[in-house]
A and B are shown apart, each in its own frame.
Chain A
Amino acid sequence: MCTTCGCGDPAGTRYTALRHDHSHDHSHGHHHPHDRGAGARTVPLEERVLARNDQLAAANRRLLAERGVHAVNLMSSPGSGKTTLLERTIRELGDSVPVAVVEGDQETLLDAERIRATGRPVVQINTGEGCHLDAAMLERGLRELDLAPRSLVFVENVGNLVCPALFDLGESTRVVVMSVTEGEDKPLKYPHMFRTADLVLLNKIDLLPHVEFDVARCAQQIRRINPGADVLHVSATRGAGLPEWCAWLRKRAITIYCEPEI
């Protein structure tokens, strides 16, 4: 578990905006004095464990809504092709909408460098031992980006189908990317992740002739977990399905802009 996936202390998180030449440390920010009370008693707390994350996520959501920014949280297992998809999506969208990217990885600036090559603003969040992005990290990441009004910001979460599912970032759209090389049972194996997706993007569709992957069965598994999710097929390397994906994003953005409560 923790020793395997390395989920850890937020003090290890690093933020790097590739437009700038500096990075920021993240300190814990408070200390714990050891005052001791007298006499045993039960203190009812009734506090949700994720309450603080959810409050920060709500603040992110308000900030994004004020600027009319559509934030898309992209989640998947490692190697499903999220970064390649982003590179191609940015090219496909062209100048139709300003795009910025928040990249989440445990280590390296490799993905952010690939996005920077597209000319779009990007900030890399290195979570160190952490296995997911949380709302506080996104808040820091968004501060590094000068978000244009009515723009589109992609948040590429840490590649992991388990942990990111539990942490609301304040995004308005959740997209799960899975690829045909992963096996069609992923939705049943990772139901928390698929249950909250607005869209499941089935990537590497060009490899279908070479792998054992039942598209119809996969769609059935997704419907069992999340009957309301849309499903699109794409090939980020060959370009198939990208116009439909971009059209889905535009339609989704219109829906969000027309509903101020989102």
Chain B
Amino acid sequence: MHELAITQSVVDTILERTENARVTAVHLVIGKVSGVVPDAVRFCFELVAAGSPVEGARLDIEEPAGRARCRACAAEFACDGLVVLCPCGSAEIDVLGGDELLIRSVEVE
């Protein structure tokens, strides 16, 4: 779905930041509650990178787990999605982590 647009942004950003150097590996961070599906990005990556200096690069995706804090009782807990309840029963939570969508680094020749 939106992963094609997301992957296009990834490749465009890399091309800008690396001044079109030959890229051999790309390290992304896609959190478990980011709303982006890593497998879909993998599928799109080959397509989007074709014909650019990123073509053929290895794609490593780090998938940090979700972390949330309850606004009612301040407890922190792990979550795999956004449909979460604090053990105290409150649905009022702030997502502390796992929503990242980052280009961590690239390897260039």
Q: Which residues of A contact B (CB under 8 A)?
A: 1-2, 5, 7-10, 32-53, 130-132, 134, 160, 162-163, 165-167, 188, 191-192, 195, 223-225, 227-228
Contacts and interface: CB of A to CB of B under 8 A. Distances in A.
B21 A166 contact: no
B73 interface: no
Contact of B81 (A35, A49, A131, A191): A191
Given A50-B9, A191-B83, A224-B91, A166 B36 contact: yes
A43 B18 contact: yes
B109 A40 contact: yes
A39 B109 contact: yes
Chain B interface residue count: which class? 35 or more
Contacts of A130: 5
Interface in B1-58: 1-6, 8-10, 13-15, 17-22, 24, 28, 35-37, 40, 43-44, 52-53
B108 interface: yes
A49 B3 contact: no
Contacts of B22: 36-37
25 contacts: A2-B3, A7-B4, A7-B5, A10-B5, A35-B20, A37-B21, A37-B22, A41-B108, A43-B105, A45-B103, A46-B104, A48-B102, A49-B9, A49-B28, A50-B101, A52-B9, A130-B5, A132-B5, A163-B5, A165-B35, A167-B2, A191-B83, A224-B83, A224-B91, A228-B92
